[in-house]
Structure 1
Amino acid sequence: MGRHFPLRRSEDWNPADAEAREGSRFPGARSRRGGRGGGPAEPAGRKAMQLCHQVAMTLSEVLAECGDPLLQGLRVLGVEPAPDASRLSVALACDEGGSVSRVEDHLAKASGHLRGEIAQAITRKRAPMLIYHIAPDEAVD
């Protein structure tokens, strides 16, 4: 059986010629590269905001049913993508007068359970990482 293409020797090959041939076969292939992708420069889309809302609702329910009284006193203020939907920033407010460091310790211990509950509630391949931000008590007299 004969060959359908000519044999080329390595000394005959020139990378510039190959790029010129590929460029002529696929015009604009390199310029289309950034068209679709969820990079950090892209603003949060509708699906990311749906995920944030779903995580906020689930997290508020799980915290309300939690056995830890300190975590039961937390309110979810909002959830935002930070920088994309794979990592979410959760803003929490403490209703009771607990110290922020103590609340952070309790959240660190319960973070695996909280993330597992969120993974069951959402339909994603991977559960997002949660970053907690605790706002101090607003009603200080």
Structure 2
Amino acid sequence: MKRSEKKTRALVRSLCAQIHDDDGPQNRHRKEHRDRTGIDRKSMQLCAQVRRSLNGLIPVPSDPAFDNSRLESVEPAPDSARLKVILSVEAPAPAQVVMIRARLAALQGYLRAQVAADINRKQAPVLIFELVPRHEGEL
């Protein structure tokens, strides 16, 4: 038990006759009650910035591998140091999926450099790409 916790408990005991669960410092000030997922407002702001940055870069206009592909979302995976970029592809054939993944792997350094130029962070996040199928009727 830390010294500050001992002082807090001693202070609480001196102020009340009986100690209950809700006595003492508020839970929001305790470290163990904070959200550990890493997804917070700043992470979501970073995702929005990265999405705006990638919107003009994906799909690559001159690359036939990215025909009928669209940037769907950018999410923290598991925190803002790594971001999952979700691309939807209209009725992908297995050969097309392999071609898109190979092309994304080749473009990953370029895309990360473009994102780093557009956002103001000490380190650019690592981009992880995920392909999901999109049906012909979806916009």
TM-score bracket relative to the smaller structure: 0.5 to 0.7
Partner of 2:104: 107
Deviation at 1:75, TM superposition (A): 1.1
Corresponding residue of 2:5? 28
TM-score, normalised to structure 2, is 0.67
Q: Which residue of 1 aligns with 2:136?
A: 139
- The residue that corresponds to 1:76 in the other structure is 71
Return 5+ residue gaps in structure 1 as ranges: 1-19
Corresponding residue to 1:52 among 47, 50, 58: 47
1:21-40 CA distances to partner (integer Å, 9 max, x unpaired)?
Answer: xx5xx4239xxxx729x98x
C-alpha distance in 1 between matches for 2:119 and 2:74: 14
Q: Tell me, which stretches of 5 or more residues in structure 2 are unaligned?
A: 7-29
Q: Deviations over 1:37-82 (max 9, x none)?
A: x98x235111110100111111111125554232364311011101
SS at match of 2:58: helix
Structure label with greater radius of gyration: 1
Runs of 4+ in 1 over 6 A off after TM superposition: none
Say which of 108, 118, 124 aligns to 1:127: 124
Amino acid at match of 2:115: I
Offset at 1:124?
0.3
**Contact 1:93 1:137 (C-alpha < 8 Å) held by counterparts:** yes
